[in-house]
């Protein structure tokens, strides 16, 4: 039995809802640390919590995009977790937005001003809006109602949403910083693999 | 020209060390009295309550040591601060490479409790110990015709992770117009809470210009130059659209990334409310420096 088959066999016993549990525990854990100003939250918990939720959202979007290439290249099959990964990513984007709106800028008019006036907030908001219909339709009923083809097409919105999320991060940092650039390169790379390999399939067909 | 700044705050206004070290515990113990605290808050809003030493020394921007707010505290111990000398040159009567102690010998270290406003829209209140920059400049002798003062931060590439990563075009440089530099509010700080500056706060000596955004208050200074032309400043070089030479705290002029109308005082925890930012960060006495200038243009 190959390594990937062993891994797949092990994963078969792990239910997909574990992702939601781990995500929720992590979100509450970070909030609790921020509330009690522990560790990185010692001095300025609001900004640090905002960043923590934003960054985990970006990581989960990357993880969701990795499922297909990972299966193609290594045979490890995480497809049954993908919906949970995506929906959890959405919840962290939502949490990130709520910390921004309620704890950071603290008023509806300021939220609006920030969205309109600051391009990095505008693209972040656009990414958030794109993820809403995806989160709402992440259930079997929606797949049936929309039809698999339409549903799949619609869920390609994750690509621009992930790219905009990374641009949001890049735009927000000051000076030359490596981390947001790495996110952009990884996301663009993961999306590109899909188109490169589908072209190749078309050529050979 | 410049008058002597009268410090109305005395040592008694500075929180005793035992109290500021314990403030967290004290706060924890008085949560039940929160309602009383809130009721008294409005009237006490203008009384400056200094941030704790812990807050001041663990939440910093010092990009030579990394871009995270905790990075300077984690990495700045590598900064070599002894021996330390400052090269004074340009339009001065007594140029030279001064050992820090020689440059400051005979000058008075004063206590200055100042608001400190970062361009990122957070702020602190810091009890500095420092020397008026004017005293230092008068000591080295400013020649007539000098219009600006340029400052430079130390570069120790092997000790500075941010320099290795080229976050900015180092060395970090800053500058002031001569009248700003000679203003009695402008100091060269050597300590906080009567302790020598921590490395992450810009040891052994840094500029403090309380009516300007924090990045103007350049840290760990190794060079002071008097010139007749406006010197380059690092953030303006990195992003001219976003950072101007003056960078006075001004709630009516937004920065492209951050609204400058309000700020969050560090130390309020997860539910800290924002407060309005004051023109010149609450130091209206500097307004006369800018008479005839349009501060929406000269940002």
Q: What's the per-residue H, E or C state across chain B? A: CCCCCCCCCCHHHCCCHHHHHHHHHHHHHCHHHHHHHHHHHCCCCCCCCCCCHHHHHHCCCCHHHCCCCCHHHHHHHHCCCCCCEEEEEECECCCEEEEHHHHHCCCCCEEEEEEEECCCCEEEEEEEEEEEHHHHHHHHCECCCCCEEEEEECCCHHHCHHHHCCCCCCCCEEEEEHHHHHCCCCEEEEEECCEECCHHHCCCCEEECCCECHHHCCCCEEEEEEECCCCCCHHHHHCCCCCCCCCECCCCCCCCCCCCCEEEECCCHHHCCCEECCHHHHCHHHHHHHCCCCCCCCC
Per-residue pLDDT, B41: 34
To which H or E segment does residue A16 belong? none
> Is the Cβ pair B67, A175 closer than 8 Å?
yes
Residue B178's nearest CA partner among B221, B225, B214, B117 is B225
CA dist., res. B119 & res. B123, Å (int): 9
Chain B residues within 8 A of A35 when measuring between CB atoms: 269-270
Three-state secondary structure readout of A40-51? HHCCCHHHHHHH
Chain A residues within 8 A of B266 when measuring between CB atoms: 43-44
Query: Nearest by CB to A40, which of B70, B167, B258?
Result: B70
Per-residue pLDDT, B35: 38
Per-residue pLDDT, B10: 58
Structure tokens, B246 = 């003056």
Per-residue pLDDT, A1: 63
Averaged pLDDT for residues B49-64? 96
Q: Do B58 and A43 contact (CB within 8 A), yes or no? A: yes
Per-residue pLDDT, B72: 97
Q: What is the mean pLDDT of chain A?
A: 94
Say if residue B104's pLDDT is above 70.
yes
156-215 in B: which are within 8 Å (CB) of A?
165-168
C-alpha distance from A49 to closest chain B C-alpha (Å): 9
Per-residue pLDDT, B285: 96
CA dist., res. A2 & res. A41, Å (int): 44
CA dist., res. A115 & res. A194, Å (int): 32
Residue % of chain A over a pLDDT of 70: 95
CA dist., res. B15 & res. B29, Å (int): 18
Q: Do B283 and B210 contact (CB within 8 A), yes or no? A: yes
- List the single residue in B with minimal CA-CA distance to A172: B257
The model's pLDDT over B210-241, given as tens digits with 9 standing for 90+, comes to 999 999 999 999 999 999 999 999 999 999 98
Averaged pLDDT for residues B155-164? 94
Per-residue pLDDT, B21: 52
> Is the Cβ pair B69, A43 closer than 8 Å?
yes
Q: Do B267 and B55 contact (CB within 8 A), yes or no? A: yes
Say if residue A205's pLDDT is above 70.
no
- List the single residue in A with minimal CA-CA distance to B71: A40
**Residue B105 main-chain phi, psi, to 5 deg:** -55, 135
- Whether B238 contacts chain A with CB within 8 A: yes
Averaged pLDDT for residues A160-186? 95
- List the single residue in A with minimal CA-CA distance to B56: A43
- List the single residue in A with minimal CA-CA distance to B234: A175
Identify the CATH number of the domain defined by range B11-290.
3.90.420.10
> Is the Cβ pair B270, A35 closer than 8 Å?
yes
Averaged pLDDT for residues B113-129? 97
Query: Nearest by CB to A37, which of B254, B256, B269?
Result: B269
Q: Do B53 and B21 contact (CB within 8 A), yes or no? A: yes
ipTM over the 0.85 cut-off: no
- List the single residue in B with minimal CA-CA distance to A111: B259
Q: Do A85 and A64 contact (CB within 8 A), yes or no? A: yes
Determine which of B269, B271, B272, B273 to mutate to test the interface with A (most A C-beta atoms within 10 Å): B269
Distances (CA, A) of A123 to A138, B118, B189, B255: 23, 25, 41, 18
CA dist., res. B222 & res. B153, Å (int): 6
Look at A196 and A53; give whichever has higher pLDDT: A53
Say if residue A171's pLDDT is above 70.
yes
Domain count, chain A: 1
Q: What is the pTM of this model?
A: 0.85
Chain B residues within 8 A of A45 when measuring between CB atoms: 269-270
- Whether B272 contacts chain A with CB within 8 A: yes
> Is the Cβ pair A175, B274 closer than 8 Å?
no
Residue numbers of the domain that contains A140: 3-204
Say if residue A150's pLDDT is above 50.
yes
- List the single residue in A with minimal CA-CA distance to B243: A174
Question: What are the residue boundaries of the structural domains of chain B, listed by start?
Answer: 11-290
Q: Do B61 and B69 contact (CB within 8 A), yes or no? A: yes
Query: Nearest by CB to B168, which of A42, A46, A175?
Result: A175
Averaged pLDDT for residues B138-147? 97
Structure tokens, A12 = 């078969």
pLDDT band at B259 (very low <50, low <70, confident <90, very high): confident
Residue B253's nearest CA partner among B245, B261, B243, B264 is B261
Say if residue B28's pLDDT is above 60.
no
Q: Is the peptide bond before A157 cis (omega within 30 degrees of 0)?
A: no
Query: Nearest by CB to A177, which of B70, B167, B270?
Result: B167
Chain B residues within 8 A of A110 when measuring between CB atoms: 259, 262
């Amino acid at each position: 039995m190959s390594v990937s088959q062993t891994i797949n066999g092990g994963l078969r016993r792990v239910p997909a809802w574990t992702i939601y549990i781990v995500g929720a525990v992590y979100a509450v854990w970070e909030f609790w640390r921020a509330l009690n100003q522990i560790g990185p939250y010692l001095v300025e918990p609001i900004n640090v919590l905002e960043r923590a939720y934003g960054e985990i959202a970006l990581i989960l979007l990357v993880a969701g995009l990795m499922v297909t290439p990972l299966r193609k290249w290594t045979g490890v099959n995480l497809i049954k977790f993908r919906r949970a990964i995506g929906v959890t990513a959405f919840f962290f984007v939502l949490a990130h937005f709520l910390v921004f709106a309620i704890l950071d800028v603290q008023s509806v008019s300021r939220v609006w001003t920030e969205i309109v006036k600051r391009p990095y907030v505008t693209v972040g908001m656009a990414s958030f809006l794109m993820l809403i219909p995806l989160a709402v339709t992440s259930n079997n009923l929606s797949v049936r109602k929309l039809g698999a083809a339409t549903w799949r097409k619609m869920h390609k919105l994750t690509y621009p949403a992930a790219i905009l999320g990374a641009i949001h991060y890049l735009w927000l940092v000051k000076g030359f910083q490596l981390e947001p650039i790495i996110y952009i390169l990884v996301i663009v790379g993961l999306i590109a693999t899909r188109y490169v390999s589908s072209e190749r399939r078309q050529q050979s067909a | 020209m410049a008058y002597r700044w009268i410090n109305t705050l005395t040592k008694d206004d500075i929180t005793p060390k035992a109290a500021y070290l314990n403030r967290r515990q004290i706060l924890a113990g008085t949560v039940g009295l929160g309602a009383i605290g809130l009721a008294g808050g409005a009237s006490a809003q203008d009384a400056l309550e200094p941030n704790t030493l812990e807050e001041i020394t663990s939440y910093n921007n010092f990009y030579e040591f990394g871009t995270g707010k905790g990075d300077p505290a984690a990495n700045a111990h590598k900064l070599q601060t002894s021996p330390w000398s400052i090269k004074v040159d340009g339009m001065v009567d007594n140029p030279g490479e001064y050992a820090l102690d020689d440059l400051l010998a005979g000058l008075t270290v004063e206590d200055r409790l100042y608001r400190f406003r970062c361009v990122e829209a957070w702020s602190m209140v810091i009890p500095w110990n420092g020397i008026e920059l004017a005293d230092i400049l008068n000591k080295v002798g400013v020649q007539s015709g000098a219009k600006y003062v340029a400052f430079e931060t130390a570069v120790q590439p092997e000790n500075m992770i941010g320099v290795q990563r080229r976050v900015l075009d180092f060395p970090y440089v800053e500058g002031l117009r001569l009248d700003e530099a000679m203003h009695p509010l402008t100091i060269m700080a050597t300590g906080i809470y009567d302790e020598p500056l921590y490395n992450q706060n810009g040891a052994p000596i840094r500029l403090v210009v309380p009516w300007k955004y924090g990045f103007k208050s350049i840290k760990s200074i190794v060079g002071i130059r008097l010139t007749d032309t406006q010197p380059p400043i690092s953030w303006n070089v990195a992003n001219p659209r976003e950072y101007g030479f003056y960078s006075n705290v001004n709630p009516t002029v937004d920065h492209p990334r951050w609204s400058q109308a309000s700020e969050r005082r560090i130390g309020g925890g997860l539910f800290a409310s924002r407060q309005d930012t004051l023109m010149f960060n609450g130091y209206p006495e500097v307004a006369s420096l800018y008479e005839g200038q349009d501060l929406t243009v000269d940002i």
